[in-house]
Structure 1
Amino acid sequence: MAVGGPGGQFRPLESGDPASVASYRLAARLGSGGMGTVYLSYTPGGHPIALKTIRPELSEDPEFRRRFRQEVEAAKRVQGLYTAPVIDYDVEGTRPWLATAYVPGPSLAAAVAEHGPLPAPSVLLLLAGMAEALSVIHGAGIVHRDLKPSNVLLASDGPRVIDFGIARAADATALTGTGVSVGTPAFMSPEQAAGKEITPASDVFALGQVAAFAGRGQGAYGDGPSHAVLYRIVHEEPDLEGLPEQLRFVRECLAKDPARRPTPARIVELCQEASPTPLRQSGTWLPEAIAADITQRVSASAALAAAPKPAPAGPPPTAPLTHLSSAAPASPASHTPPPPAHAAPTATAAHVPSTPVPGYGPPPVPHAPAPGYGPPTGPRPPYGPPTGPQPPFGQQPWRPTPLPPRRNRAGKWIGIGVAAVAAFVWLSSCASVLLDITGKADDGDTTSSSSSSPVAGDGTRPRPDPKPVTYRGINIPEGYYVRFADSPPKPLYDDVGAAYAEGSDFYYQGGDFGGPATLGSPGEKIVLLNNAEDASLTTCREDTRYAKSVTLTQVSTGSHLCVHTTSGHIALITFKGTAPKGDPSDYVSVDLTIWRNAEEPTDG
């Protein structure tokens, strides 16, 4: 998750942002991502921290909370020089949060986007620092799972790896969106892309990808749609053209076989061997433009920390007089308690000046009631007419509104009784009509209510029509399947095969041993509708020309298929096409309209 903006700018808090989290007053926004939002705050001693709040959707998932708690406990043990240590956290509150040391530097992704690839000496120091960070992270029993340029921050004394382990917590919930697995596709390892076991060697593969990005401006497997990049990661060799010669050992990190990849300790040795001089992290390890960016961020953070606290709200105006002869005592001053000693004022502008400006950020405007509005805070006069002199017109004192006279409720009960009698008479007449109709039906009326509830082809009566849910543009790679119960359905992979995977409802299988590529369902109830048939739930229920699968040669763009699953779901699949020519990946694109629990489940 990238934090901060170019030139040391911080974004002000937005309307939906909290003013504080626990005892930490939030000063500015640093960034946001799929997991949550990161804010700038300060410790009681004035040291800046990055405080991340987790998205409400994730917070509501109990399995995510359990994983998040485990990962935070493990992250507390990570205290390396090239990581951002955990400062504070809360995993039990309504909205979990995690605070780490703030790194006043751009992410690698932002630095390369703004200034281009790093020179070879900088990449070697970057790699060595990241490898040391992975050694510490793996030593704490954590696999990062989402190592990418935006999770590597550039500080003046070396890189910092952040967000380690949190992706594993997100992997426990279906709220992470579409895709094969948690992580960024362009930096996944082949085993992660295929949904197989993830080990520390998976992070080494991602490290090689990050190195290629830092040295040549793009990853080793190019850009483009996620499925295309994933296909190249699994099946093709990396493209390292343009990478300096002394960085060619990065190819070892990108081995398809995890066992052939070097360990983080070996990567540090390879960096030392490739450098003409001993590797030493210093304030000059980065190009001048990036170093200047870091300096601006340090100044901006210091300006926020040094900005004066908002002035406390003043006391409200004195309460109005209740009598001309005497004044009610003024109410004591009421204002919000001052923030904690380490709190910083909320930023109110996108750019913070490099030097503290007195009064930076407008102080909160106290809300004071208009004079004479509402009851006074002094003693009230006694009920009844005043005994003292009256004030002039326009200065009448506040008095409570007199209570209305008691109402005679006898008429109310009489009305209720009349209504009850009328309702009883009406219900009696309705019952007579129903009995009459029933008697006629028993005496020989052959009309059956089943005429309004059609019988399906298998002899069973269908369930009431459920509400359809449509998902568009789902790309299913060859050998992958989707489950209709997932929301949204996402491509999944299993070593046993898409047609045999547990929970598989619809799959795309490439041609094996010269056979045709097929679209199929393990339930073996798939129907290819003809052009004259209406693409609807009724048609899917009534058309029983079931097949086990349909070949790609039988469908074209716009073709409709009905799929019945053993779990009782019915889906209308609209075929949109296959991977375009020249694309090395192999996939089909479909739209799914799903009626969940539309019929009785079967045993398959």
Structure 2
Amino acid sequence: MAGARPGGQFRPLESGDPTTVAGYRLAARLGSGGMGTVYLSYTPGGHPIALKTIRPELTEDPEFRRRFKQEVQAAQRVQGLYTAPVIDYDTEGAQPWLATAYVAGPSLASAVGEHGPLPVPSVLLLLAGMAEALSVIHGAGIVHRDLKPSNVLLASDGPRVIDFGIARAADATALTGTGVSIGTPAFMSPEQAAGKPITPASDVFALGQVAAFAGRGTGAYGDGPSHAVLYRIVHEEPDLRGLPGQLAFIARCLAKEPAERPSPAEIITLCQEASPTPLRQSGSWLPEAITEQITQRVSASAALAATPTATAAPAPTAPVTQPNAAPAPTAPVTQPHAAPVAHTPATPVPPAAPPAAPIHAAPTAAAPHVPPAPGPVGYGPAVHHQPSYGPPAAPAPPAFGRQPGWRPLPVPPKRNNVGKWIGIGIAAVMGLFWLSSCASVLKGLGDSSDGSSGSSGSASGSASAKPLPDPKPVSYRGINIPDGYYVQFADSPPRPKDDEGNFYSSDLSHYDDELRSGNDRIVLLNNAQQGSLKTCREETRYAESVSLSQLSKGSQFCVHTGSGHIALVTYRGSAPESDPSDYVSLDLTIWRNAEDPDAEG
């Protein structure tokens, strides 16, 4: 099967995977993560590339697209020896993607997981290469923000740092399960874990974490739940037991204060001082087992590139995505309109054309005939040809004038309309009589009422005399809303946002230990009430907000929006005291368009 090779270097494409992206044929899966899926592909010259497609839910957010475009353009400026350069990209299409040079080697995470910690000389060369990569990345005005073992690839001539800066594009659109910034908790800096500004020094902290992982097989702050690891990063000292003495300087990278950490240039100097011999990258810088893996991947990639589907296909019709990037590969485009390209030479009019002439017989002088415009060359027969399926199409008359042999249809005799008008008059009289009877009945019902109003039941009675049909509920579990963020019920799923311009008109916001509704229509249910659409419609004890002190785990309240949505909110708890972030966790059941917009209830 394509993409599967001995040793499991490549995974085959799955049933839901695309086969091409912008003309690049996808040969195998390289991996997937929070941002998207990475595939193996090839340039027209046969050079392997890694092509990453972005998750659809991220591409729906305009802010993500804006940041993704900025970060990709900035990444083009990064041309270091220890980074994977950007080859091609598309940030505007329905499916954004990014292509970089392919690195034929395992990630540091998989290499250590399979073979154990690296020897000291390998760790020093790894550290020096990563520090040099950070120098180039920071020089381009980028902070990596998500440096971790899986984003460091081991090539035969040194490490490669990948995915630099791209995590920033997701920061404004997606929050992790604990409501903190995008990144891997075990490798975050203290300031990143606490939600403070990120600087290049944050990458140096992550570099120290990655070095500790490479030298001892585990991170410097242990494993476990994310909030526990983050707490140790912020409040406790790193655990470097078992780390060889030559690597003791890694502790400086893990200083709590960013200003106390060394720069990437200083780290390179520290690596040189710790090495008994000059640092030189070569083909033997890694243990033999990892070097063998790299050799297998190079062979497998070459074998995939040599398959007929990779080299014998005609060139795609789509232009190169980026004018300054690598040209589109020679793999065929799978879009339906591209298939006829192979038949471009077939330009002569087929024999079926002459019989079609009677269909377009000469028009009369009242309608000069304009011949149809010829179709594009190579895209099948002209539009006036007889179809190749079904019975022959009947000749269609022209828009103006008459064809030979045309006869008008017989005109029906005029009808006597007197009876019709008499019937309309009788119906109108009966309709007026019926309306008058209905009005009398309604007036009688109104006179017999007790005149009471303002209660929960009567308040909803006038608005729900003919209630809207019950919409289908949609449920979302575990929505975490940080302090200062809000959600809109029209979003699917509702994503926390921090746009100050819309905060006070939001459907549900979290601010200063309160949950607020921009429509001032929140109803806290008591323990005896069953949360349902019926309950939310009937309860009118509206309030502007609900204090977190009023809620316990399992408490429910209804929220009515000005756009007609109704939500039943179930409180699941707040961030624990040990967690540096501040958020509430909610379950939402939303009935969209459950009442008239701007209804006052």
* TM-score, normalised by the number of residues in structure 2: 0.69
Q: CA deviation at 1:300?
A: 0.8
How far apart are the structure 2 equivalents of 1:568 and 1:245? 66
Q: Which amino acid aligns with 2:140?
A: A
Q: Percent identity?
A: 67
Q: Which amino acid aligns with 1:165?
A: G
Asked if 1:101 is matched to 2:101, the reply is yes
1:534 to 527, 530, 536: 530
In the TM superposition, what are the counterparts of 1:362-381 in structure 2 within 5 Å? none
In the TM superposition, what are the counterparts of 1:144-543 in structure 2 within 5 Å? 144-174=144-174, 179-309=179-309, 337=314, 400-401=391-392, 432-442=433-443, 445-446=446-447, 468-474=473-479, 483=487, 488=493, 505=508, 520-521=514-515, 529-539=525-535, 542=539
Q: Would you say the 8 A contact 1:228–1:585 is kept in 2?
A: no
Q: CA deviation at 1:134?
A: 0.8
Q: CA deviation at 1:337?
A: 4.3
- The Cα offsets for residues 92-142 of structure 1, whole Å up to 9 and x where unpaired, read as 344333221111011112212222222232222211111111110110011
Q: Structure 1, unaligned stretches of length 5 or more? A: 313-335, 347-375, 385-396, 510-518
- The Cα offsets for residues 519-578 of structure 1, whole Å up to 9 and x where unpaired, read as 6435799776443222235545627396863548x73x5444557899998754435568
How far apart are the structure 1 equivalents of 2:581 and 2:65? 36
How far apart are the structure 2 equivalents of 1:202 and 1:155? 25
Q: CA deviation at 1:82?
A: 0.4
Partner of 1:591: 587
Q: Would you say the 8 A contact 1:148–1:187 is kept in 2?
A: yes
Q: Would you say the 8 A contact 1:558–1:576 is kept in 2?
A: yes
Q: CA deviation at 1:302?
A: 1.3
Partner of 2:361: none
The 3-state SS of whatever aligns with 1:154 is strand
Q: CA deviation at 1:196?
A: 2.6
Q: CA deviation at 1:243?
A: 2.7
Partner of 2:54: 54
Partner of 1:352: none
Q: Which amino acid aligns with 2:529?
A: E
Q: Structure 2, unaligned stretches of length 5 or more? A: 318-326, 333-349, 359-387, 396-405
Greater shift after overlay, 432-441 or 589-598?
Answer: 589-598
Q: Which amino acid aligns with 2:447?
A: T
Shift in alpha-carbon separation, 1:593–1:289, aligned structure 2, 3 A: same
Q: Which amino acid aligns with 1:544?
A: R
- The Cα offsets for residues 139-183 of structure 1, whole Å up to 9 and x where unpaired, read as 001111221221111101111011112122223435988842222
Q: Would you say the 8 A contact 1:58–1:175 is kept in 2?
A: no
Q: CA deviation at 1:274?
A: 2.6
Shift in alpha-carbon separation, 1:25–1:96, aligned structure 2, 3 A: same
Q: CA deviation at 1:13?
A: 3.3
- The Cα offsets for residues 238-266 of structure 1, whole Å up to 9 and x where unpaired, read as 33333333323223222232222221112
Partner of 1:126: 126
Q: Would you say the 8 A contact 1:4–1:30 is kept in 2?
A: no
The 3-state SS of whatever aligns with 2:181 is coil
Partner of 2:541: 544
Q: Would you say the 8 A contact 1:232–1:584 is kept in 2?
A: no
How far apart are the structure 1 equivalents of 2:227 and 2:42? 42
- The Cα offsets for residues 169-205 of structure 1, whole Å up to 9 and x where unpaired, read as 2234359888422222322223223333222122222
The 3-state SS of whatever aligns with 1:147 is coil
How far apart are the structure 2 equivalents of 1:205 and 1:450? 69
Shift in alpha-carbon separation, 1:287–1:253, aligned structure 2, 3 A: same
Shift in alpha-carbon separation, 1:251–1:532, aligned structure 2, 3 A: same
Q: CA deviation at 1:228?
A: 3.0
Q: CA deviation at 1:433?
A: 2.8
How far apart are the structure 1 equivalents of 2:288 and 2:192? 37
The 3-state SS of whatever aligns with 1:521 is strand
* TM-score, normalised by the number of residues in structure 1: 0.68
The 3-state SS of whatever aligns with 1:159 is strand
Shift in alpha-carbon separation, 1:379–1:228, aligned structure 2, 3 A: same
- The Cα offsets for residues 20-63 of structure 1, whole Å up to 9 and x where unpaired, read as 33343333332233323322222333322222233344444433
Q: Would you say the 8 A contact 2:220–2:240 is kept in 1?
A: yes
Q: Would you say the 8 A contact 1:27–1:345 is kept in 2?
A: no
- The Cα offsets for residues 375-404 of structure 1, whole Å up to 9 and x where unpaired, read as x976888999xxxxxxxxxxxx99955859
Partner of 1:332: none
Shift in alpha-carbon separation, 1:452–1:581, aligned structure 2, 3 A: closer
Shift in alpha-carbon separation, 1:72–1:529, aligned structure 2, 3 A: closer
Q: Which amino acid aligns with 2:541?
A: T
Partner of 1:45: 45
The 3-state SS of whatever aligns with 2:447 is coil
Q: CA deviation at 1:67?
A: 2.1
Q: Would you say the 8 A contact 2:58–2:64 is kept in 1?
A: yes
Q: Would you say the 8 A contact 2:23–2:331 is kept in 1?
A: no
How far apart are the structure 2 equivalents of 1:12 and 1:297? 14
Q: Which amino acid aligns with 1:237?
A: E
Q: Which amino acid aligns with 1:36?
A: G
Q: Would you say the 8 A contact 1:107–1:152 is kept in 2?
A: yes
Q: CA deviation at 1:285?
A: 1.6
The 3-state SS of whatever aligns with 1:284 is coil
Q: Would you say the 8 A contact 1:26–1:344 is kept in 2?
A: no
Greater shift after overlay, 419-428 or 66-75?
Answer: 419-428
How far apart are the structure 2 equivalents of 1:491 and 1:227? 19
The 3-state SS of whatever aligns with 2:104 is coil
Q: Would you say the 8 A contact 1:308–1:345 is kept in 2?
A: no
Q: CA deviation at 1:426?
A: 7.3
Q: Which amino acid aligns with 1:278?
A: P
How far apart are the structure 2 equivalents of 1:539 and 1:179? 31
Q: Would you say the 8 A contact 1:4–1:106 is kept in 2?
A: no
How far apart are the structure 2 equivalents of 1:466 and 1:284? 66
Q: Which amino acid aligns with 2:438?
A: I
Q: Which amino acid aligns with 1:232?
A: R
